[in-house]
Structure 1
Amino acid sequence: MSARIALRQLIRPLAVVVTAAALAVPVGLVSAQGAAAHPRGGEHVSWQDTPTGSTAQFRGLAPVSRKVAWVSGTEGTVLRTTDGGRTWDDVSPAGDLSALQFRDIEAFDAQHAVILSIGDTTGAFRIYRTSNGGRTWQLGFTNTDPAAFYDCMGFWDARHGIAMSDPVDGKFRIITTKDGGRSWSVVDPAGMVPALDGEFGFAASGTCLVTAGSRDAWIATGGGAQSRVLRTHDGGRTWRAATTAVPSGPSAGIYSLAVRGRSQLLAVGGDYALPDAGVVSATSFDAGHRFLAGGANGGYRSGSAWLPRTWASAIAVGPTGSDVSTDAGRHWRTFDTTSLDSVACTRDGACWGSGAAGRVTKLVSQPGR
């Protein structure tokens, strides 16, 4: 196993035993029924676990709505619910794929999804797709370059997608698809900015790469002297970089990005080797050209999302808890101290979380008392 792969495989919560206990704090979020809540409202939020019957660690999370959600994780596991998490179906690809970790999943509805795997061999980096709810999966990409390490992917629509690898020959490698993941092509690296010494991405929640519009995408980095966000506005052909105040180092940097519209970005991260240490976040209001230092999270955070139907609320999750901000990342408040790896929200007002020990949760709220 290479040193790079060993480092990525180590990125997992230090505490894998989770409980259903949650601490509630007043914030302005969506209600449990998806109704809009004013950002200054007195909502009390918490996570409500849904029973999956699995022990896998789910870093891949792709909710489609309040009813439909997909998760992917260790031991080649993929689950899907169509009833809001009351029941989960095992829709894992057939065959002996237990050595694979599906670190990222992108879903478009209850039938169509794409998954990205990592492992400790070159060929373990694969991309599969399904068009029948996971009954069958088709292999669309297998990595053949031992220097590549694919971390994350994203889609602009059901046909056009993008995935990124850690630097190969001094530049991050980009692959794209135009047919929903059936086939992938390496993008000419001439348009990519040079990587910093030691710079790479983190395959921690599938959100080190995010997309918006029809051609915009952003990549989060760490590992080097500075944490950066790389941006493209032409579908991945050319890229520019912006530095951020999020600390960077051998195991530190930006682990997660969240985008709202095409201009508002949130960056969270930290150092997975020091999960309890607070770390500043960063925000951009100009599509990633410049990042402003945000408030400190409650610890290392591997996932983030803007909360729907709010003005400026966001959530960040990690192995030591979940934080919420109601002012676009300027200040954060911890509302839960249990472990999650990923968080994502849907257009109809639902927010889902996933993590170790088969945990999948939904965000619920109650009026302030």
Structure 2
Amino acid sequence: MKQALLFTFSIFSCLLSSTSLLKAQTVTILQQDKPTSIRGLSVVDDKTAWISGSKGYIAKTADGGKTWDWQQLKGYEKSDFRDIEAFSDKEAVIMSSGSPSYILKTTDGGLTWQEKYQKTDTSYFLDAMDFADATHGYILGDPINNKFLLLETKDGGETWAKSTNPPTALPGEAAFAASGTCLRVLGEGAIYIASGGKSSRLISLSKGKSEWEYANLPISQGKSSEGAFSVAIQKNKGIIVGGDYANDKMKDSVAVITTYKNRHAFQVVTHGPEGFQSSVEHIADGIFLSTGTPGSNLTTDGGLTWKQIDTTSFNVCRKAKRGKLVLLAGNGGKIALFKM
């Protein structure tokens, strides 16, 4: 009886703690009313973060998001910088979607930007960028001739070349340039791609392997506006989110869970986020934050159940690589702070 009472008390304490944690979340607007749609967000540490957006806009903070230094890159006013990867307050790489496709880099905190890659071919559409470390990174692009475009750098973004081993794409399959998080490159060299469209799959390449693995996702798919938009990986599991951005209030099949060791087995989340989600981020052990046009959602049990914590529209959420700072960004130059 004593053990039963202790077990019951333990369960009650865990539920109370989880409920209190969910009630304690806040999303606070830091910046808005700028003429740019932000989809690129890179949080370096608790002080430094960079954003990139449409119409050639870039911004950087050095005080955890309280103030931002904005600039519109001269000569790139029509570029839509859909993703950014920052390594410090001085060094960052940005990529633009659409045509022409550009990759730019700064090493002086954004005072000057050097063009490292340009492609005027209209078949090129860059979706997302991620790095395993400060030197080795990848950029994912929509399929060309049934192969996903995969650019690779081994010198911190100074030079880029096509990967000799890109993954195969199905007819009508692509990736979404919605938040820069449909591509994840882990520090150990593993690559994860969440695709959508007529088919939605988790495509992965393990460290030291040459064969890509393909797994069909039990997530909304079949239309060009549907599929998986983002993937987040922690040590023992992954969360994939998406849905239908053209019907963003639809709650069915917008989130699934997979295990790190078995990437072909998925668990459909029945109590998932409130509608379409374009970005998901691992915050702490068992805790993931997701966001999209209908608002932001949080899970504290590894993705099994979600609770909407805010109804403001955002495109992307990211946590500091070194630290606890979590930011969100979206249309109209909107930037927000997430606190637990």
TM-score above 0.5: yes
Q: Secondary structure at the match of 1:297?
A: coil
Contact 1:52/1:88, CA 8 A, preserved across alignment: no
Counterpart check, 1:257 vs 2:231: yes
Pick aligned residue for 2:58 from 78, 85, 90? 78
Matching residue of 1:300: 276
| Structure 2 unaligned spans of 5+ | 1-13
Counterpart check, 1:279 vs 2:279: no
Contact 2:328/2:337, CA 8 A, preserved across alignment: yes
Pick aligned residue for 2:141 from 159, 165, 168? 165
Contact 2:33/2:334, CA 8 A, preserved across alignment: no
For residues 214 and 131 of structure 1, what CA distance do their matches in structure 2 show?
Answer: 25
Matching residue of 1:13: none
Matching residue of 2:331: 356
Matching residue of 2:6: none
Pick aligned residue for 2:24 from 27, 44, 53? 44
Counterpart check, 1:104 vs 2:80: no
Following superposition, the deviation at residue 92 of structure 1 comes to 4.3
Contact 1:192/1:237, CA 8 A, preserved across alignment: no
Following superposition, the deviation at residue 51 of structure 1 comes to 2.7
Say which is worse superposed, 227-236 or 172-181, in terms of deviation: 227-236
Matching residue of 1:142: 118
- Counterpart code for 1:231: S
For residues 209 and 119 of structure 2, what CA distance do their matches in structure 1 show?
Answer: 19
For residues 231 and 214 of structure 1, what CA distance do their matches in structure 2 show?
Answer: 13
Following superposition, the deviation at residue 192 of structure 1 comes to 4.0
Contact 2:32/2:332, CA 8 A, preserved across alignment: no
More helix by share: 2
Q: Deviations over 1:135-194 (max 9, x none)?
A: 111111112443222111100111110011111111112110011111101112xx4443
TM-score by length of 2: 0.88
Following superposition, the deviation at residue 361 of structure 1 comes to 0.6
- Counterpart code for 1:276: K
Following superposition, the deviation at residue 52 of structure 1 comes to 5.7
Matching residue of 1:207: 181
Matching residue of 2:213: 240
For residues 78 and 62 of structure 1, what CA distance do their matches in structure 2 show?
Answer: 11
TM-score by length of 1: 0.82
Pick aligned residue for 2:197 from 223, 231, 240? 223
Q: How many residues align?
A: 319
For residues 307 and 109 of structure 1, what CA distance do their matches in structure 2 show?
Answer: 20
Matching residue of 1:267: 240
For residues 81 and 144 of structure 1, what CA distance do their matches in structure 2 show?
Answer: 32
Counterpart check, 1:131 vs 2:131: no
- Counterpart code for 2:77: S
Following superposition, the deviation at residue 71 of structure 1 comes to 0.6
Contact 1:51/1:359, CA 8 A, preserved across alignment: yes
Contact 2:33/2:332, CA 8 A, preserved across alignment: no
Q: Secondary structure at the match of 2:331?
A: coil
Say which is worse superposed, 243-252 or 138-147, in terms of deviation: 138-147
Displaced runs of 4 or more, over 6 A: none
Contact 2:64/2:325, CA 8 A, preserved across alignment: no
For residues 326 and 140 of structure 1, what CA distance do their matches in structure 2 show?
Answer: 41
Say which is worse superposed, 290-299 or 271-280, in terms of deviation: 290-299
Q: Secondary structure at the match of 1:166?
A: strand
For residues 116 and 156 of structure 2, what CA distance do their matches in structure 1 show?
Answer: 9
For residues 232 and 297 of structure 1, what CA distance do their matches in structure 2 show?
Answer: 28
Change beyond 3 A, Cα 1:317–1:169: same
Larger Rg, first or second structure (1 or 2) = 2
